[in-house]
Structure 1
Amino acid sequence: MSEVFFNGPAGRIEGKYIQSDNPRAPVALILHPHLPSDFFEGNMNHEVINCLYSILIKNGFSALKINFRGIGKSQGTFDNGVGELMDAATALDWLQLHNPSSLEYLAVGFSFGAWICMQLIMRRPEINNFIAISPPTNKFDFSFLSPCPIPGLIIQGEQDSIVPEESVLELVNRLSRQKNINIEYKLLSGADHFFRGKLNDLSNTVDEYIKISHHSTGKKNASKKHQNKLLL
C-alpha cells in the first residue's frame, strides 16, 4: 500500500493506493463516511473502509481510497457534498490515468461516501458497477437516481439507528422497478450503522457480490495469487 497525493479542486488530495500486477485488472474507488454523527470517524482509515479496501485487493482490484477535502492531509474544507463529489471525480481521473488498459470501474461508498458514490455514477459512464453501504437516504436527497444507469449492491444494517431500514428500502424498491438494471439488496442481521462486530459479515457479502458481478476477473484471481506493487 502506498500513500499518494494528487491535485484536486481544493488543493492536494491524500489517498492510499495499491495497483494490481494485471494491467487489465478491475479498478475500485472507495469513499469514506462524513456525516455529523460519524464525523470524527469519517476518513479513509475507518474500519469499514479498511475492510472494503482489503476485500477488493484480495479480489485482484487496483484500489484507491481517498480522504475528502479537509480530512487528514487533504487540503480544503468540508463542502456539504458539492466539493466532495469533485474530489471523487478527480480521484477517478487519477485512476484512469494509472490504469489505461482497465475496462472495469467499481465505485464504492459508505454512509456519506455512498451518497457521493451514487452521484458519481450518474456523471461518469465509465463506472460499470457500484456498492453503496448504509446510504443515508433519510439525510440526503437521492432523487437524482432516475434512472440508475448501472447495476449495483446496496447493503444495510438491520439495527442501524442512524439510517432506518425503511428509508433505504424505499430507495431499493424504486430502483428495482427499472428494467434491465439489477439492484441487489442485502440486509445484514444484527448490524448497526458501523457494522460493529459484523465486519466479517460485511466482508463476505461484498466478496460474494464481487465474485458474481466481476465473475471473469474473480475466477482468474481465485486460481492465481496476485502480487501487488506499490505506486511510489
Structure 2
Amino acid sequence: MAEIIFPGPEGRIEGHYRKAREDNAPVALILHPHPQFGGTMNDKITYEMYHMFARRGFAVMRFNFRGVGKSEGEYDQGQGELSDAATALDYLQQLNPTAPFAWVAGFSFGSYVGMQLLMRRPEIVGFISISAAANLYDFSFLAPCPSSGLVIHGEQDKICPPQLTKDVMAKTRTQKGRRIEFEVIPGADHFFSQHQEALMETAERYLDRRLEEPPEGRLFED
C-alpha cells in the first residue's frame, strides 16, 4: 500500500493506492463518508472495502475528498467531490491503462458520489453502495442506471429508514440486463456499529458472485 498525491481540480489530492499483482487487473475506487461529519479515507468501512477489492486482485484506490487530510480545497456540496472522484478514476486508469473494467464503492455520502460517477463513466460495470440515504440525497439522476450493483442498508438506520431507500431503488429504471439489488443488515445502524462483519460478508458475497459472471458494460478504450 502506498500513499500517493496527485493533482485534482482544486489542488493536490491525497490517497492510498495498491497495485495489483497481475497485469490487466480491473480497478476499483472507494469513496468515503461526508467530509463535514468526520468522513475520511481511513474510515473503517472505507478501509475494509479497499482491502476487500485488493484481496480479489483489483488495483484499488481510496482518497480524501477536497479539504480532508492533505487534500486541498473546500467542501463543495457534492459537485466538487464528484469532480474529485472523476479525477481519481482518471489517475487510476493512467496507472492501469490495460484494466478491463472498473468498480466503484462508497459509504453514505460516498455512495451518492459514486452512483453519480457511474452515470458518467461507462467503464464502471459494478457498484456497492452502503447507507445510501435517499432522504438526504436525490437519486433521480439514475435514469436509467447503467450498471448492476448492490445497495446495503442497516435495519435500524435512524438517519434514513431502509424502506425509503429500498423504495427509491425499486423504482429506479435500469438499462437492459442491469439490476440493483438491496440488502438489509438486521440490527445495524447507519454506521454499522457492531455489525461491520455482517456488512462485509454481504459485500463479499455479492462481489464474488459478480466476478464469476461476464463483466457488463464497455471496456476501457485505448
- Give the TM-score normalised by structure 1: 0.88
| Residue 202 (structure 2) pairs with residue 184 (structure 1) | no
Counterpart in 1 of 2:57?
Answer: 60
- CA apart distance, 1:27: 0.8
Distance of 2:35 and 2:162 partners within structure 1: 17
Q: Secondary structure at the match of 1:90?
A: helix
Runs of 5+ unmatched residues, structure 1: 218-232
Q: Deviations over 1:105-146 (max 9, x none)?
A: 001111000000000011111111111111121011111001
Counterpart in 2 of 1:20?
Answer: 20
Counterpart in 1 of 2:217?
Answer: none
Runs of 5+ unmatched residues, structure 2: 215-222
| Of 80, 85, 88, the match for 2:77 | 80
| Of 126, 131, 154, the match for 1:134 | 131
- Tell me which of the two structures has the higher relative contact order, counting C-alpha pairs closer than 8 angstroms and 6 or more residues apart: 1
Q: Secondary structure at the match of 1:88?
A: helix
Taking every aligned residue pair, what percent have the same amino acid on both sides? 47
Amino acid at match of 1:18: R
Distance of 2:191 and 2:43 partners within structure 1: 9
Q: Secondary structure at the match of 1:156?
A: strand
Distance of 1:98 and 1:179 partners within structure 2: 31
May I ask how many residue pairs the two structures share in their alignment?
214
Runs of 4+ that moved beyond 4 A: 176-179
Compute the RMSD of aligned alpha carbons: 1.5
- CA apart distance, 1:166: 1.9
Distance of 2:173 and 2:48 partners within structure 1: 27
Amino acid at match of 2:5: F
Q: Deviations over 1:57-79 (max 9, x none)?
A: 11111110010000000000000
- CA apart distance, 1:175: 2.6
| Residue 5 (structure 2) pairs with residue 2 (structure 1) | no
Counterpart in 2 of 1:225?
Answer: none
